[in-house]
């Protein structure tokens, strides 16, 4: 594989991630679309398609952090680079990128994984009582965790719908592009 082919593929993947991350910023402006974002689908997509897996982690986590800074500024009026919620969100999405690295080829099982894994991981981790600001709303107990999970269902539903829509666009679009432009094809299938 030539160096030009590797660089072109990586550059295209990075541009896709940057362009798609912009859609996350729209959720601040349009509250009815809260959490209807591409981040779950992007994390799986990056893990699946980057040949150099460190690039997937770097680009996904960087896009998440930068978009968080912008969104949090919109809500609070203050610039905050990193907080405990961002740390745990990065942990969630690093796990999702890892799951993407396990995808060898697109099939029915992997499509189900693309749709369900991001929202399930985000839902189960981010609503833990000691992680987010919801700890002041719910008791730090199993019952409090259950209450937080139930309360998060509308938020996570939007993430699930976003994963479906953006998963189809990202995976379907890149597969079509790979068939048309051979420079986007790696030596291997999707992941290592």
Is 177 among the domain residues?
yes
- The count of residues in the chain is 192
Cα dist. 61→57, 134, 139 in Å?
Answer: 6, 23, 30
Count the domains in the chain.
Answer: 1
pLDDT digits (tens, 9 = 90+) for 56-87: 999 999 999 999 898 888 888 888 887 777 88
In a domain, 160, yes or no: yes
**Model confidence over 23-60: pLDDT tens digits?**
888 877 777 777 888 889 999 999 999 989 999 999 99
Q: Which of 132, 138, 164 is nearest to 151 (CA)?
A: 138
Q: Residue 165 sits in which domain range?
A: 3-184
Residue 24 lies in a domain: yes
In a domain, 191, yes or no: no
- What's the predicted TM-score (pTM) here? 0.85
CA distance readout (Å), 96 to 29, 35, 80: 26, 16, 24
Find out whether 71 and 27 touch, Cβ atoms under 8 Å.
Answer: yes
Query: For 90-115, what is each residue's pLDDT tens digit?
Result: 999 999 999 999 998 888 888 888 88
- Is 147's pLDDT higher than 90? no
Residue 192 pLDDT > 60: no
Task: Give CA 166 to chain center in angstroms.
Answer: 10
């Amino acid at each position: 594989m030539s160096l030009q082919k590797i660089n072109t593929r990586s550059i295209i993947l990075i541009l896709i991630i940057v362009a798609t991350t912009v859609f996350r910023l729209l959720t601040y402006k349009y509250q009815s679309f809260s959490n209807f974002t591409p981040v779950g689908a992007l994390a799986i997509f990056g893990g699946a398609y980057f040949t150099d897996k460190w690039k997937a982690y770097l680009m996904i986590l960087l896009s998440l952090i930068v978009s968080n800074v912008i969104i949090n500024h919109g809500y609070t009026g203050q610039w905050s680079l990193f907080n405990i919620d961002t740390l745990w969100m990065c942990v969630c999405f690093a796990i999702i990128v890892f799951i993407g690295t396990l995808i060898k080829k697109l099939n029915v099982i992997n499509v189900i994984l693309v749709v369900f894994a991001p929202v399930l991981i985000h839902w189960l981790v981010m609503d833990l009582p000691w992680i987010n600001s919801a700890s002041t709303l719910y008791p730090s107990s199993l019952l409090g965790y259950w209450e937080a999970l139930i309360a998060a269902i509308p938020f996570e539903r939007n993430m699930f719908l976003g994963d479906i829509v953006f998963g189809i666009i990202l995976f379907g679009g890149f597969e079509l592009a790979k068939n048309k432009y051979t420079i986007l094809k790696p030596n291997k299938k999707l992941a290592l």
